[in-house]
Structure 1
Amino acid sequence: MQKYPSKDGGQKCHAGQNAEYWTRIITSAYKELILAPFLDKERWVEVFEGFVIVDLAIQEKGVLKICARKDIPQREASLMFDADIPTRIIGLFTEFPAGDNCGFQELEGMTLPVVGVSRAPFSHPTGLVASKNRNGDVWPRGNGNGPMEHIAPGMSPFPEKLKCIEGTTYSVGACRCIYKRVEAGKWVPFQDGFPTVEPSTNLGFRDLDAFSPSDMYAVGGHGDVWHYDGTQWRQMGFPSNVQLATVTCAGDGNVYISGEGGSLWVGEKSTWKSIYQGTSSIHWNDVLWFQNRLWLSSDYQFRQWHRNKLIPVEHEGKIVPIAGHMDAFDGLLAIASLDSVMSFDGQKWTDLVSPYID
């Protein structure tokens, strides 16, 4: 187990403070759908016990990268800086035998971390954990570890998400901060066309997606929607000034944007239509296109958009009992709650990680 020593202050926060009630309900429903989990008890105790999952990404076929944090009681956590909460980047290897299918590295000083991956043009796929701090610290893990990278030293890039699109990894952050990883340890601004303005919560970004490197969308802030045409970013019109959370360039040729309350819009460029008016108290964490459908996940819900309505995700007539953060790549969808991970290959669901409760 390795650690790195750098620390950076951040807001006080508890990694497991959201969705604890719903996690208990989801956990109790697990065994109705799927029997024994892929990860055995000994390895679960070593890697996951006492930690809560905050994000995941599919690195490549058979390899998931999971970010987990120490589960600290809320009262104790309220007296800490978020950077003081221990963070683990976990590798889960679904094609390895039991006992050798999961490992982790523990990190210090990560503030509100998110996890992503790096693929081609690099020689080997790699997991990445990024910190919302002044430098945008990023720790690579897989086919070698480290050294620490910095997205934008002293510029407070505050990555909300790491998105890997056609092999290029992008850091998407507040105040229209977008950077792309062009080589190991080197991130460059990807901001041609953005005006210089004072930082404001009205400005994005929280998500980015693309049909191609010359047809990209970034969203966030209050109705802040931008399109990249291969040369520069241009602001698009949007019919609402609510907070925006995700953007998805879908396989049906449409662009889907989600926002405040879990609402949905569909369209392109500056033409958008509201298709769902949500009433949730939280945003969707991830909205993905998989198997010719739109899949949506939040801390409390896991849904599909089907025939102009949101429906629960079901398998063989039963609701799939999980919600949280989601990723899809190479014919696989994976989703993680605070203490569980499941995957779907288009035919069957697999329980990869779930808690062993004596």
Structure 2
Amino acid sequence: MDVTCLDLLSVEDYSKRFRGFGIRDCAVIDRELFYFVSVQDWDDDRPRPFHDELETRLTKLQLNAEKRWLSTTMTGYSRLKCSGPREGDVVCFAVDGMGQVLAKKLEGSRDESNVPGGGGVGPCRGSVNRLKPLFGRLYGGGDGRSLFHRVGPEQWREVGPLPPEGRGETGFQDFDGFSETDLYAAGGQGDVWRYDGSAWLRVRFPSKMWLESVCCGGDGLVYIGAQSGTVYRGRGDDWTMIHRGDLSLPFRDMVWFQDRVYATSDYGLWEIQDGVVRRSEAPIEITNCAGNLSVADGVMLMAGHSGAALHDGQSWTRLFSIAELARNARK
């Protein structure tokens, strides 16, 4: 498989924007505009600071712009996520684990009030774990079995009424949907729920494994990534384990693109088609960029600690390689 390497990041821009940082999330806004969340690396030989003491950056890559790269330095944020869709002049939203919100324009940004909730009350009862653009809206999910969506500036509404908060190890870690009235959310130890447009229904899931990722596929089935890279497939109360993983990490992201599910972690890229889970045959220049996935506007972006790559539905293009840039910077 041939790979186009655009290598859009110069050594100078790498040093300014990503050197000493690791990419933790990415978002496609459209096929010309992408965002990356990167967090300051830390030497494990020294005591690690709290998450919000590490510097976080939100970096824009706009392919058709004269000024292609732009970074925003953010302090006091922890476990930041980014996502579309556009809302007026705001092109990207960044929300951290504590519900702090940054509305990002092409140039400039504004801080907004936190996603409301906490103490067992929605829209967000606990930490924000995931952001996704669904059905033209920005959705978020978090601890205490909470799911919510944005209805306007400084306005968030729970998808509910929310299910009981529950005891023990409960979700939500991730969610996805076929429509606004057919949503699935999962997390904790085998804690899976379905929203039918008016109420949340507990799914009889066949495992108490830790659950990390959810994808509602174009084939009409739901895929759930569990601990160690294990994958379940089903819908409603009918589920089958289609792959027992033996990895030390679960799949962080699972997305439907073209005719299959793509799943990724820091360990690489996998493809799921016709019930078979296999490592992607994409070249190493691409799979080295594994870590996070985002799909919008007919393209799929993958980004991780070693770089970023784009799939346009026909072929892969490497956008930049942090590993190569780091070597060149040392020279």
| TM-score > 0.5 by shorter chain | yes
Q: How far apart in 1 are the matches of 2:200 and 2:16?
A: 46
* Partner SS for 1:314: coil
Q: How far apart in 2 are the matches of 1:319 and 1:327?
A: 15
Is the 8 Å Cα contact of residues 297 and 324 (structure 1) preserved in structure 2? Answer: yes
1:141 matched to 2:110? The reply is no
* Partner SS for 2:45: helix
Is the 8 Å Cα contact of residues 225 and 235 (structure 1) preserved in structure 2? Answer: yes
Which residue in 2 is equivalent to 1:186?
A: 155
Q: Judging changes above 3 Å, is the alpha-carbon distance between structure 1 residues 317 and 171 closer, same or farther for their aligned structure 2 residues? A: closer
Aligned partner letter, 1:151: V
Q: Which of 268, 280, 287 in structure 2 is aligned with 1:301? A: 268
Alignment of 1:1-358 (within 5 A): 35=5, 37-78=7-48, 80-97=49-66, 100-119=67-86, 122-124=87-89, 126-133=91-98, 136-143=99-106, 144-152=108-116, 155=119, 157-198=126-167, 200=168, 202-315=169-282, 320-355=287-322, 356=325, 357-358=327-328
Q: How far apart in 2 are the matches of 1:330 and 1:211?
A: 17
* Partner SS for 2:139: strand
Q: Over residues 72-118 of structure 1, what are the superposed CA-to-partner deviations in whole Å (9 max), with x where a residue is unaligned?
A: 2123352x111100100111112234xx2111110111112222223
Identify unmatched segments of 5+ residues in structure 2: 120-124
> How far apart are 1:197 and its partner, in Å?
3.7
> How far apart are 1:193 and its partner, in Å?
4.7
Aligned partner letter, 1:339: S
Q: How far apart in 1 are the matches of 2:296 and 2:204?
A: 31
Is the 8 Å Cα contact of residues 59 and 70 (structure 2) preserved in structure 1? Answer: yes
Q: Judging changes above 3 Å, is the alpha-carbon distance between structure 1 residues 157 and 124 closer, same or farther for their aligned structure 2 residues? A: farther
TM-score by length of 2: 0.89
The structure where strand makes up a greater share of residues is 2
Aligned partner letter, 1:252: D
Aligned partner letter, 2:88: S
Of 248-257 and 306-315, deviating more is 306-315
Of 308-317 and 270-279, deviating more is 308-317
Q: How far apart in 1 are the matches of 2:216 and 2:97?
A: 26
Is the 8 Å Cα contact of residues 151 and 157 (structure 1) preserved in structure 2? Answer: no
Of 313-322 and 87-96, deviating more is 313-322
Q: Over residues 177-205 of structure 1, what are the superposed CA-to-partner deviations in whole Å (9 max), with x where a residue is unaligned?
A: 2222111111222231512544x3x2101
* Partner SS for 1:96: coil
Q: Judging changes above 3 Å, is the alpha-carbon distance between structure 1 residues 118 and 150 closer, same or farther for their aligned structure 2 residues? A: farther
Is the 8 Å Cα contact of residues 286 and 318 (structure 2) preserved in structure 1? Answer: no
Aligned partner letter, 1:354: S
Q: Judging changes above 3 Å, is the alpha-carbon distance between structure 1 residues 52 and 184 closer, same or farther for their aligned structure 2 residues? A: same
Q: How far apart in 1 are the matches of 2:274 and 2:152?
A: 43
Q: Judging changes above 3 Å, is the alpha-carbon distance between structure 1 residues 128 and 75 closer, same or farther for their aligned structure 2 residues? A: farther
Q: Judging changes above 3 Å, is the alpha-carbon distance between structure 1 residues 85 and 180 closer, same or farther for their aligned structure 2 residues? A: same
Aligned partner letter, 2:39: R
Q: Judging changes above 3 Å, is the alpha-carbon distance between structure 1 residues 317 and 145 closer, same or farther for their aligned structure 2 residues? A: closer
Aligned partner letter, 1:203: T
Q: Over residues 120-146 of structure 1, what are the superposed CA-to-partner deviations in whole Å (9 max), with x where a residue is unaligned?
A: xx324522222222xx11111124411
Which residue in 2 is equivalent to 1:25?
A: none
Q: How far apart in 2 are the matches of 1:263 and 1:219?
A: 14
Q: Over residues 233-284 of structure 1, what are the superposed CA-to-partner deviations in whole Å (9 max), with x where a residue is unaligned?
A: 1111111111111111111111111111211111111111111111111110
Aligned partner letter, 1:111: S
Q: Judging changes above 3 Å, is the alpha-carbon distance between structure 1 residues 153 and 235 closer, same or farther for their aligned structure 2 residues? A: closer
> How far apart are 1:309 and its partner, in Å?
2.7
Of 67-76 and 332-341, deviating more is 67-76
Is the 8 Å Cα contact of residues 215 and 255 (structure 2) preserved in structure 1? Answer: yes
* Partner SS for 1:326: strand
> How far apart are 1:310 and its partner, in Å?
2.4
Is the 8 Å Cα contact of residues 286 and 316 (structure 2) preserved in structure 1? Answer: no
% identical equivalent positions: 28
RMSD: 2.1
Number of aligned residue pairs: give it. Answer: 318
Which residue in 2 is equivalent to 1:8?
A: none
Identify unmatched segments of 5+ residues in structure 1: 1-31
